[in-house]
Structure 1
Amino acid sequence: MRALLVKITCGAEAPERANQGWTVAAMGLAAGAEVAVWLTGDAVWFAVPGRQPDLALPHATPVADLVETVRAGGSIRVCSQCAARRALSANDLVEGTVIAGAAQFVEAALTDGVQALIY
């Protein structure tokens, strides 16, 4: 099975798209794939305890539950520039989250056996 790389580029301003990214990542874990979620732009708030947007979408798993599922079974990366623009450091993020740059994203996306999806 290929690894799954999910990049989420939006937050509360696009709730269905953001929730879909988290849902796909969680389903990838359920299917047995290695999953990494990369957060850019306002999506970085999903990695900050107490600041995670409540997307409040009917018929959708609460995003906080999806974030915890991915954190527990996969990995979460936050864009280094996006974190800096929001004055966030690794100490501000949910346990296990790593701040990483574009070079690391490109390396991960170009690795053999990886399926990258962007939301």
Structure 2
Amino acid sequence: MSASLVIKVTVGADDPERCNQAFTVAATAVVSGVPVSLWLTGEAAWFAVPGRAEEFTLPHAAPLADLLAAVLAAGTVTVCTQCAARRDLTEADLVEGARIAGAAAFVEEVVAEGAKPLVY
């Protein structure tokens, strides 16, 4: 089995450089052919809501909306169940292709053979 990346983003606009780095690594891996699962937790959960990624800006960084689109096109994007609930988000509130899942799904992904978890 080939290696895959499970990337968990724990910050949003409150820590823009770390947030953007996670999305950049995820998108770079996807376009390189690496299977990617991007988990949005905490304030990063908001970026799964339509229009929110477009509002994020960071000088000298690729637009977050473009990075998210790349991951959605060839990988998976998941919002943490508890994080979604704390923000009153349901799957109907999310961009097309994003899902909501909990800790059991995250654990299953990170312990899968060949998985490489990264946390930002």
Task: Give the TM-score taking structure 2 as reference length.
Answer: 0.95
Deviations 1:13-72 (A, max 9, x none): 000000000000011112211111001101001100023363322211010110111111
Structure 1 stretches of 4+ with a deviation exceeding 4 A read none
**Aligned equivalents of 1:81, 1:22: Cα separation in 2:** 21
In structure 2, give the amino acid aligned to 1:42.
E
Among the aligned pairs, what percent are the same residue?
A: 54
| Alignment map for 1:9-20 (pairs within 5 Å) | 9-20=10-21
| Alignment map for 1:70-89 (pairs within 5 Å) | 70-89=71-90
Residues 54, 62 of structure 1: 8 Å contact kept: no
Partner of 1:95, secondary structure, is coil
Deviations 1:65-102 (A, max 9, x none): 10111111111000000101111000000101110001
The total of aligned residue pairs comes to 119
**Aligned equivalents of 1:53, 1:46: Cα separation in 2:** 9
**Aligned equivalents of 2:89, 2:112: Cα separation in 1:** 28
**Aligned equivalents of 1:55, 1:102: Cα separation in 2:** 27
**Aligned equivalents of 1:100, 1:35: Cα separation in 2:** 16
Residue 6 (structure 2) aligns with: 5
Partner of 2:97, secondary structure, is coil
Partner of 1:4, secondary structure, is strand
Unaligned ranges ≥5, structure 2: none
Query: Root-mean-square deviation (CA), in Å?
Result: 1.1
**Aligned equivalents of 1:108, 1:47: Cα separation in 2:** 20
Residues 54, 63 of structure 2: 8 Å contact kept: no
